[in-house]
Amino acid sequence: MGKGKTLLLGLVAVLVLPFGISLAEDPPGQGKKESYTWRNAPRHSSGVAPSAQDHANQAIVMVMAADTFGWRGYFAVHPWIIFKRAGETSYTRYDVVGWGGGNVVRKNYAIPDGLWFGAKPKVLADHRGEAAEALIDEIEAAVASYPFPNEYRSYPGPNSNTFIAHIGREVPDLDLDMPANAIGKDYRPITNPVGMSSSGQGVQANLLGVLGLSVGLEEGIEFNVLGLNFGIDFNRPALRLPSVGRLGMDNVASQDNDDDVATSEEAQHRDEQAEVLAGPSS
């Protein structure tokens, strides 16, 4: 077998096998991704974020991401950011939601740590206390400077991942490392193909989010081919793979929030209190 065929087969395996893992974790016809419609999918608190009221005197900043709704959840995630200053008893949440038109940057669109149409979020960044307080003004400035407030494309971007990646670039102390299945995080307009990576601590070259390379302290080395990302993280060793995002060590050290996890009854109550104003998006 020639070197060209070997390279091609290796590339196909790298791109296809992670999708197989994603399917195995949630088989079609049996898994949660097909068990809900956008109308009945649960949106209640996941218990991932600490109680804002119980931590009123502490500033908190968190970035989360959950599988997108429906079949797209096999490939991609939807991220958002929440924060509160010391003295505040509620979070502010920002994410990009394409449904509904107009300005796609939404403030407090959903419960701060709510399930994303049935999918539980994972934490991508977590800062507390003075370190978090110092980030909030920068985060708000980054939200205001997002260059695509009236544009949205699920693929290859700009989308919800493009938005959070923009915040990561503008606020490098956020230490944000977006997973490989955050499709759209590498989207760059053709007039600006080279710049900072989504962590704000590395560099990248990319054409419209479909072909490129990122190198950084947080990202390690990551290649982008047709919007699918794969590479290796040396900081907290792991493979970066499409569909599954990450295979190896968790990128964010867990914090002890046992006292803050909502009970199912409390979560259900929050769900009943929340208004679902729009359909699913990524």
For the chain, 282 residues long, give each residue's pLDDT as a single digit of tens. 566 665 555 555 555 555 554 544 565 544 555 567 778 889 999 999 999 999 999 999 999 999 998 877 788 999 999 999 999 999 999 999 998 778 999 999 999 999 999 999 999 999 999 999 999 999 999 999 999 999 999 999 999 999 999 999 999 999 999 999 999 999 999 999 999 999 999 999 999 999 999 999 888 999 999 999 999 999 889 999 988 888 888 877 555 444 444 434 444 444 444 444 445 545
Best CA proximity match to 225, nearest among 74, 80, 18? 18
Token representation of residue 195: 């710049």
The H-or-E segment that residue 12 falls in is helix 3-25
Q: Is 241 helix (H, G, I), strand (E, B) or coil?
A: strand
- The whole-model pTM stands at 0.82
R_g of the chain computed on alpha carbons: 18
